[in-house]
Amino acid sequence: MTSTTDGLLSVLYTSNARTPFGDDDLAELLAQSRASNAANDLTGMLLYRGGRFVQVLEGPEQTVRDIIATIGADPRHSDMRVLIEQPITHREFRDWTMGYQPIAETTGDAPAGFRDTFDDLENAEDPSATLRAARELSLWFRVRSARAQRNADAD
């Protein structure tokens, strides 16, 4: 694993829920995560869809490593896999102790060029594909969050 000499570390991982999470389960998980992240100087975002988590955590290196180990041992998760781990000089999610965006199940085929799943990340032989997908994920999340905020401000 990469050492950042107590600098900032960003980790993107995926895991599967051992049992499906309902709205109440997700609300409880988010409340726990946000409180823990605020207390430990962690930021990030979480996506959940169809029993699968995709999460980015960022913060002090050892704190991120400790939380990743805790999540890996959490009986609610299985098949955890770290896809990207890298030192960072600034936080992508600095204003969020844990941003969350629900992703509705879709019907029909996605439009050409649209990524509606991240299942391919775990099988990517090209490490740069994972990094590109993580950037797409970050951009998607930011656009949706900004759009939701504008809509809330307009109401």
Give the model's confidence band at 135: pLDDT under 50 very low, under 70 low, under 90 confident, else very high. Answer: low
Mean pLDDT of 40-65: 89
Please choose, from the candidates 112, 101, 105, 107, the residue with its C-alpha nearest in 3D space to the C-alpha of residue 137.
101
Give the model's confidence band at 5: pLDDT under 50 very low, under 70 low, under 90 confident, else very high. Answer: very low
Considering the chain, what is the average pLDDT of its residues?
75
- How far is Cα 41 from Cα 98, in angstroms, rounded to an integer? 11
pTM, to two decimals: 0.68
- How far is Cα 92 from Cα 44, in angstroms, rounded to an integer? 8
Report yes or no: 93 and 32 within 8 Å, Cβ to Cβ: no
Top pLDDT among 128 and 74 is at 74
Q: In this structure, what is the dihedral angle of CA atoms 150, 23, 78, 7, given to the nearest 10 degrees? A: 40
In the sheet with 99-102, reading across from the earlier edge strand, the strands are 77-88, 8-17, 52-60, 43-49, 99-102
Least confident of 4-8, 42-46, 94-98, 128-132: 128-132
Top pLDDT among 116 and 32 is at 32
Name the 3-class secondary structure at 15.
strand
* φ, ψ dihedrals at 45, nearest 5°: -150, 155
- By 3-state DSSP, what share of the chain in percent is helix, strand and coil, each rounded to 5? 40, 25, 30
